[in-house]
Amino acid sequence: MQRFNHPLTVAIHDTARVGVFAMSLIWMAQRGSRATVGGDEGVLSFPSPAPDKGATALDLVHQAADVFRDMEKRARETEARAHSLCTSALERLRLAEARAEAAERAQHEFTVTTERKLQDACRALEQAQCCIEAQKDKLTAVELRAEVAETEARQAKEALALVEEAIRKRLLCANPRADGRLATVA
Protein backbone atom coordinates (compact mmCIF):
# COMPACT_ATOMS: atom_id res chain seq x y z
CA MET A 1 0.00 0.00 0.00
CA GLN A 2 1.28 3.45 -0.85
CA ARG A 3 2.09 5.73 2.02
CA PHE A 4 0.96 8.88 0.18
CA ASN A 5 -2.09 8.16 -1.91
CA HIS A 6 -4.23 11.23 -1.30
CA PRO A 7 -3.66 14.89 -0.36
CA LEU A 8 -5.48 14.35 2.94
CA THR A 9 -3.10 11.52 3.84
CA VAL A 10 -0.15 13.82 3.14
CA ALA A 11 -1.69 16.54 5.30
CA ILE A 12 -2.39 14.11 8.17
CA HIS A 13 1.07 12.63 7.95
CA ASP A 14 2.64 16.11 7.88
CA THR A 15 0.44 17.20 10.79
CA ALA A 16 1.58 14.20 12.81
CA ARG A 17 5.22 15.08 12.08
CA VAL A 18 4.58 18.69 13.08
CA GLY A 19 2.91 17.52 16.29
CA VAL A 20 6.02 15.52 17.18
CA PHE A 21 8.16 18.49 16.17
CA ALA A 22 6.08 20.88 18.32
CA MET A 23 6.34 18.58 21.31
CA SER A 24 10.09 18.46 20.80
CA LEU A 25 10.17 22.25 20.72
CA ILE A 26 8.16 22.48 23.93
CA TRP A 27 10.42 19.95 25.61
CA MET A 28 13.47 21.94 24.49
CA ALA A 29 11.88 25.13 25.77
CA GLN A 30 11.35 23.56 29.14
CA ARG A 31 14.97 22.43 29.18
CA GLY A 32 16.19 25.80 28.05
CA SER A 33 17.36 24.70 24.59
CA ARG A 34 16.65 26.66 21.48
CA ALA A 35 16.12 24.94 18.13
CA THR A 36 15.97 26.63 14.79
CA VAL A 37 14.80 25.21 11.50
CA GLY A 38 17.44 25.52 8.81
CA GLY A 39 16.98 25.65 5.05
CA ASP A 40 16.35 21.89 4.88
CA GLU A 41 13.00 20.71 6.17
CA GLY A 42 13.19 18.79 9.43
CA VAL A 43 16.83 19.75 10.23
CA LEU A 44 17.25 21.31 13.62
CA SER A 45 20.27 23.10 14.94
CA PHE A 46 20.76 23.40 18.66
CA PRO A 47 22.60 26.52 19.80
CA SER A 48 23.68 27.06 23.33
CA PRO A 49 20.96 27.31 26.01
CA ALA A 50 19.19 30.68 26.20
CA PRO A 51 19.02 32.52 29.50
CA ASP A 52 15.34 33.57 29.14
CA LYS A 53 13.16 30.43 29.08
CA GLY A 54 9.86 32.28 28.45
CA ALA A 55 11.21 34.12 25.40
CA THR A 56 12.70 30.89 24.13
CA ALA A 57 9.39 29.06 24.57
CA LEU A 58 7.54 31.88 22.82
CA ASP A 59 10.08 31.82 20.00
CA LEU A 60 9.64 28.06 19.68
CA VAL A 61 5.85 28.44 19.59
CA HIS A 62 6.21 31.04 16.80
CA GLN A 63 8.52 28.72 14.92
CA ALA A 64 6.06 25.86 15.34
CA ALA A 65 3.24 28.12 14.11
CA ASP A 66 5.35 29.07 11.06
CA VAL A 67 6.01 25.40 10.36
CA PHE A 68 2.27 24.65 10.70
CA ARG A 69 1.40 27.51 8.33
CA ASP A 70 3.96 26.31 5.80
CA MET A 71 2.63 22.77 6.05
CA GLU A 72 -0.96 23.94 5.67
CA LYS A 73 0.06 26.05 2.68
CA ARG A 74 1.80 23.05 1.08
CA ALA A 75 -1.20 20.86 1.89
CA ARG A 76 -3.55 23.42 0.25
CA GLU A 77 -1.25 23.65 -2.77
CA THR A 78 -1.06 19.85 -2.98
CA GLU A 79 -4.82 19.60 -2.66
CA ALA A 80 -5.29 22.30 -5.33
CA ARG A 81 -2.90 20.44 -7.66
CA ALA A 82 -4.69 17.16 -6.97
CA HIS A 83 -8.04 18.83 -7.59
CA SER A 84 -6.71 20.35 -10.81
CA LEU A 85 -5.35 16.96 -11.92
CA CYS A 86 -8.68 15.30 -11.12
CA THR A 87 -10.60 17.98 -12.99
CA SER A 88 -8.26 17.65 -15.96
CA ALA A 89 -8.54 13.86 -15.89
CA LEU A 90 -12.34 14.05 -15.73
CA GLU A 91 -12.40 16.45 -18.67
CA ARG A 92 -10.12 14.15 -20.70
CA LEU A 93 -12.36 11.22 -19.74
CA ARG A 94 -15.47 13.13 -20.87
CA LEU A 95 -13.76 14.02 -24.16
CA ALA A 96 -12.68 10.40 -24.67
CA GLU A 97 -16.21 9.18 -23.95
CA ALA A 98 -17.63 11.76 -26.38
CA ARG A 99 -15.15 10.64 -29.06
CA ALA A 100 -16.01 6.99 -28.40
CA GLU A 101 -19.75 7.74 -28.66
CA ALA A 102 -19.18 9.72 -31.87
CA ALA A 103 -17.15 6.83 -33.29
CA GLU A 104 -19.90 4.38 -32.33
CA ARG A 105 -22.54 6.58 -33.97
CA ALA A 106 -20.41 6.91 -37.11
CA GLN A 107 -19.87 3.15 -37.20
CA HIS A 108 -23.60 2.53 -36.74
CA GLU A 109 -24.45 5.01 -39.51
CA PHE A 110 -21.84 3.42 -41.77
CA THR A 111 -23.27 -0.04 -41.05
CA VAL A 112 -26.83 1.12 -41.74
CA THR A 113 -25.77 2.87 -44.95
CA THR A 114 -23.77 -0.15 -46.08
CA GLU A 115 -26.68 -2.49 -45.36
CA ARG A 116 -29.07 -0.21 -47.27
CA LYS A 117 -26.69 -0.04 -50.24
CA LEU A 118 -26.26 -3.83 -50.14
CA GLN A 119 -30.04 -4.31 -50.13
CA ASP A 120 -30.35 -1.87 -53.06
CA ALA A 121 -27.62 -3.75 -54.91
CA CYS A 122 -29.37 -7.08 -54.24
CA ARG A 123 -32.66 -5.68 -55.55
CA ALA A 124 -30.90 -4.28 -58.63
CA LEU A 125 -29.21 -7.65 -59.20
CA GLU A 126 -32.54 -9.46 -58.89
CA GLN A 127 -34.12 -7.01 -61.35
CA ALA A 128 -31.21 -7.45 -63.73
CA GLN A 129 -31.55 -11.24 -63.48
CA CYS A 130 -35.30 -10.96 -64.18
CA CYS A 131 -34.57 -8.70 -67.17
CA ILE A 132 -31.95 -11.15 -68.43
CA GLU A 133 -34.41 -14.04 -68.09
CA ALA A 134 -37.09 -12.01 -69.87
CA GLN A 135 -34.61 -11.13 -72.64
CA LYS A 136 -33.63 -14.81 -72.92
CA ASP A 137 -37.30 -15.75 -73.20
CA LYS A 138 -37.82 -13.06 -75.86
CA LEU A 139 -34.72 -14.21 -77.70
CA THR A 140 -35.92 -17.80 -77.61
CA ALA A 141 -39.33 -16.67 -78.92
CA VAL A 142 -37.66 -14.61 -81.66
CA GLU A 143 -35.45 -17.56 -82.59
CA LEU A 144 -38.49 -19.83 -82.77
CA ARG A 145 -40.37 -17.28 -84.89
CA ALA A 146 -37.29 -16.94 -87.11
CA GLU A 147 -37.10 -20.72 -87.51
CA VAL A 148 -40.83 -20.85 -88.28
CA ALA A 149 -40.41 -17.95 -90.71
CA GLU A 150 -37.44 -19.70 -92.35
CA THR A 151 -39.45 -22.91 -92.59
CA GLU A 152 -42.41 -21.02 -94.02
CA ALA A 153 -40.13 -19.15 -96.42
CA ARG A 154 -38.53 -22.42 -97.51
CA GLN A 155 -41.96 -24.00 -97.93
CA ALA A 156 -43.18 -20.90 -99.80
CA LYS A 157 -40.11 -21.02 -102.00
CA GLU A 158 -40.65 -24.71 -102.65
CA ALA A 159 -44.35 -24.07 -103.34
CA LEU A 160 -43.42 -21.19 -105.64
CA ALA A 161 -40.94 -23.43 -107.40
CA LEU A 162 -43.65 -26.06 -107.82
CA VAL A 163 -46.12 -23.46 -109.10
CA GLU A 164 -43.51 -22.11 -111.47
CA GLU A 165 -42.74 -25.62 -112.66
CA ALA A 166 -46.41 -26.35 -113.10
CA ILE A 167 -46.94 -23.09 -114.96
CA ARG A 168 -44.05 -23.84 -117.28
CA LYS A 169 -45.22 -27.30 -117.99
CA ARG A 170 -48.85 -26.45 -118.52
CA LEU A 171 -48.53 -23.08 -120.17
CA LEU A 172 -45.60 -23.96 -122.31
CA CYS A 173 -47.17 -27.18 -123.37
CA ALA A 174 -50.55 -25.53 -124.13
CA ASN A 175 -49.07 -22.84 -126.39
CA PRO A 176 -46.47 -24.33 -128.63
CA ARG A 177 -45.15 -21.06 -129.98
CA ALA A 178 -41.49 -21.26 -129.89
CA ASP A 179 -40.61 -17.71 -130.54
CA GLY A 180 -39.07 -17.45 -127.12
CA ARG A 181 -41.17 -14.67 -125.75
CA LEU A 182 -42.95 -16.82 -123.29
CA ALA A 183 -39.81 -18.50 -122.21
CA THR A 184 -38.17 -15.19 -121.47
CA VAL A 185 -41.24 -13.88 -119.65
CA ALA A 186 -41.38 -16.87 -117.48
How large is the C-alpha radius of gyration of the chain? 58
Q: Return d(Cα 124, Cα 50) in angstroms, integer.
A: 105
Q: Which residues of the chain have pLDDT under 70?
A: 1-51, 174-186
Distance in angstroms (rounded) separating the CA atoms of residues 22 and 30:
12
* 102-112: pLDDT as tens digits: 999 999 999 99
- How high is the pLDDT of residue 113? 96
Q: pLDDT tens across 168-180, in order?
A: 888 777 555 545 4
Instruction: State pTM to two decimals.
Output: 0.40
